[in-house]
Amino acid sequence: MSKIVIYQDLGSADYKKAWEHQEKLFNSLLAGKNSSAGKAGRSGSVAGYLLFCEHPHVYTLGKSGAENNLLIDPAFLKKIGADYYRIDRGGDITYHGPGQIVGYPIFDLEQFGIGIRQYIYNIEEAIILTLSGYGIEVSRLSSASGVWLDPENSSSARKICAIGVRASRHVTMHGFAFNVNTDLSYFSHINPCGFADKGVTSMEKELGAPQDIDDVREKLKKNLEAVFGMNLSGN
């Protein structure tokens, strides 16, 4: 039986407000695991939430990240209209901004019967399937999460989707950042995901023209449903 996941499109969302919203849903799933109605595998129970949004310009640094991977000072952050947060996900530094699909799966992995490695693999697979539909060939990098073009070529490896998660008692939060029509110049101010020797890219850059982000979003939702074996309910 497909798992029921509530989908919410937050539109353009302030990073801090979206983070607080995630925390509320994350804590509600954790609390539900203590009740009989929320036990894993119970028929008809909600297995989680999937939030999609775009953020205004913001850099986020994971709990194990290095501060020096942000290459600019607070004054320059203000000049380029970007915020900066140190947060509680895994991974290093990344950028979020307009033209990027940010996805926050808040899933009870026990209900899906998978662990964190399979969870990350599934997100990568949904992105790979989505890009394949546009004729963009991508794959995984053996030493890092995310979705890449030419991953094993040191001179041309470039990331198109970053992944960073937090998990507690098999409940996840944070998620992925998928570059569709993203202004890639903002990545020049960081070592993306801690890599000084690898690049970033977007669908727009690879295909030579801006893409219909609504179309990409709908295809990605369908691929996530298929890969995770779930039904999305909501807006």
**Where in the sequence numbering do the catalytic residues fall?**
193
E runs forming strands in 87-157: 93-96, 100-107, 139-141, 144-149
How many alpha carbons lie under 13 Å from residue 23 in its C-beta half-sphere?
9
Q: How far apart are CA 148 and CA 139, in angstroms?
A: 5
Asked if residues 107 and 21 have their Cβ atoms less than 8 Å apart, the reply is no
Whole-Å CA distances, 9 to 29, 56, 223, 232, 234? 19, 15, 16, 12, 9
Are the C-beta atoms of residues 231 and 2 closer than 8 Å to each other? yes
Phi-psi sector, 135: left (phi>0), alpha (psi -120 to 50), beta? left
